[in-house]
Amino acid sequence: MTTKTAQLCPQQLIETETTTMARSKPISVKIATAKVITALETKLAQVNADYTNQDELEAKYQKQMEKWRKEVAKFATANISKAENLRTNYRAWNKTLNVDFDLITDEADFPKEPERNFEQIYVHTYREMKEEIENAIRILKMTDEETVNTSTYNAIARYL
């Protein structure tokens, strides 16, 4: 259904159009409770493993970053003769000289920075996720219902 209204402004005539959409019927999905419990238990195991392994993965990432920084330093010193916009800053209080310059280069020539291939899970986030998943599993195991209704599924869907 479309309605048009006209409003008179001092400078001009403004015409606005409003479209009213028909309400869509809500989706009713029924999923077996056992399948949802199994999926939540799998997700809980994955969250626990990810949290446990993240220190090891972070250490590997930091080693890759240190290697990359050394490669960048080698690249920069090898190409310093091509440097543009050379800037220096001497700090007398700690006797350090900071040298900053720009190198014009293609991305393919420059060492590629490593990327984190894992998601960092902070302690508070881990505890919250773990507690919510465990509570959902506990409640679903107590129910006599064979299927999970849509509202319950929506509450736990982000973990599945």
- CB–CB of 143/43 below 8 Å? no
**Residue 50, pLDDT above cutoff 60:** yes
For residues 36 and 75, what is the distance between their CA atoms, to the nearest angstrom?
Answer: 53
Rounded-to-integer distance, Cα 35 and Cα 47, Å = 18
pTM value? 0.62
Nearest to 138 by CA among 33, 58, 10, 28: 33
Q: How confident is the model at residue 62 (pLDDT cuts 50, 70, 90)?
A: very high
- Average model confidence (pLDDT) across the chain: 84
Question: Residue 6 — pLDDT band, cuts 50, 70, 90?
Answer: very low
In degrees, to the nearest 5, what angle opens at C-alpha 118 toward C-alphas 114 and 121? 130
Domain ranges of the chain: 31-159
Sorting pLDDT into bands at 50, 70 and 90, what band is 54? very high
pLDDT digits (tens, 9 = 90+) for 127-156: 999 999 999 999 999 988 888 877 788 888
DSSP 80: G
Tens-place pLDDT, residues 91-137:
999 999 999 999 988 888 888 999 998 889 999 999 999 999 999 99
Distance of alpha carbon 71 from alpha carbon 63, whole angstroms: 12
